[in-house]
Amino acid sequence: MLIRTYSTMWMIGGFAFLVYMGHLYIWAMVVVIQIFMAMELFNLLRKSSEEKQLPGFRLLNWHFFFTAMLFTYGRFLSRELVNTVSSDHLLFKLVSGLIKYQMIICYSLYITGFVWFILTLKKKAYKYQFKQYAWTHMILLTVFAQSSFTVANIFEGMFWFLLPASLIVINDIAAYLFGFFLGRTPLIKLSPKKTWEGFIGASVTTIISAFLLANVMGRFQWFTCPRKDLSTGWLSCDPGPMFKPEHYYLGDWVPLWFPWKEVFLLPVQWHALALGLFASIIAPFGGFFASGFKRAFKIKDFGDSIPGHGGITDRMDCQMVMAVFAYIYHQSFISPHNFSVDAILDQIIRNLTYEEQKSLYQQLEEIFQQRQLMQN
């Protein structure tokens, strides 16, 4: 428990520093986590006796990994990248061209890897090679399909990354403490150490924490403002109605001795309850899935990179499930569904050449001048 506590404090301290540094640094942290997760999962089915006969086969796995990374982040961060280089005409044209042809570039890289795999097939190693090929694609789906939502959450506003991630940490710590001191009743056979006492205690703690943390985080523009480029400068924006305090008069709802007769709450706090509920009841099943997975491979942990915790994958199982839910919830209930200026600009930058964008600008200018004349 002491080793686990010590490493937890280091992780929380490092994470807080990255949050202070900004969105770009947190994205870098996610990339590092992805690399460690892939490394741990690649090693699960690795057989050194087989790979001695297949020089360069491990390099093929990483070729597919970085191709998937280029495709995923090229789709999610194209607008931010273009906004970062918009002041430099030459660089803007280069980046715009790369984004426009990003899909064919990624497909060409993937086909190169596919042909590479076919050409390296060796007799007596077919089964191992095809198993590794399928395993690699499953890892890419697991790691990128889920963690890409984490990056999207970061740039939508750090609040939508930080709150869900914090709730998973709180739930994990609370479940461990309640289970350690009060646990008596086993919860699920896949994880014999998990108890009902730990599960219920952690659920109550997480839901309350979600409501309170949302009020604290929602008051800082550093957390609530979306990042529209890849810079690290300070943010300032109109946070929107979700992050503007609303007055609630308690009146007859509370006893006479209660000191607060009125409170100011942020509308986002009610949405935070949904995140807290998911983090406490559904997200732990990501951990149960990982437990069953480890039992299938007869291993205790995915790795040993974090003292007292195991590998990076052991700590990210619930986070991945939570990140996807947070993104879908934000897009379904928080993000406006009508066309926004940012969304239209994103499509213009992604699909039109520099000359076409200039032509569009000139046509818009003519339309505005005609309207102005008609009004006069």
| Residue pLDDT tens, the chain, 376 long | 788 888 888 888 999 999 999 999 999 999 999 999 999 998 887 776 666 677 778 899 999 999 999 998 887 777 777 777 766 777 777 887 788 888 999 999 999 999 999 998 988 888 889 999 999 999 998 888 788 889 889 999 999 999 999 999 999 999 989 998 998 898 888 888 889 999 999 999 999 999 999 999 999 999 999 988 888 888 888 888 899 999 888 877 777 777 777 889 999 999 999 999 999 999 999 989 988 888 888 888 888 888 877 888 888 889 999 999 999 999 999 987 656 677 687 778 767 778 888 899 999 999 999 998 888 8
Q: For residue 216, what are its two tokens?
A: 């604290």
Q: What's the pLDDT at 321? A: 92
CA dist 226 and 346 (Å) reads 15
Q: What's the pLDDT at 84? A: 76
Q: What's the pLDDT at 189? A: 83
pTM of the shown model:
0.83
Long-range CB pairs of 66-73 (<8 Å, 24+ gap) are: 67/106, 67/109, 67/110, 67/113, 68/140, 68/144, 69/31, 69/34, 69/144, 70/102, 70/105, 70/106, 70/109, 71/102, 71/103, 71/106, 72/144, 72/148, 73/148, 73/151
Question: Is the Cα torsion angle 211, 212, 214, 218 positive or negative in sign?
Answer: positive
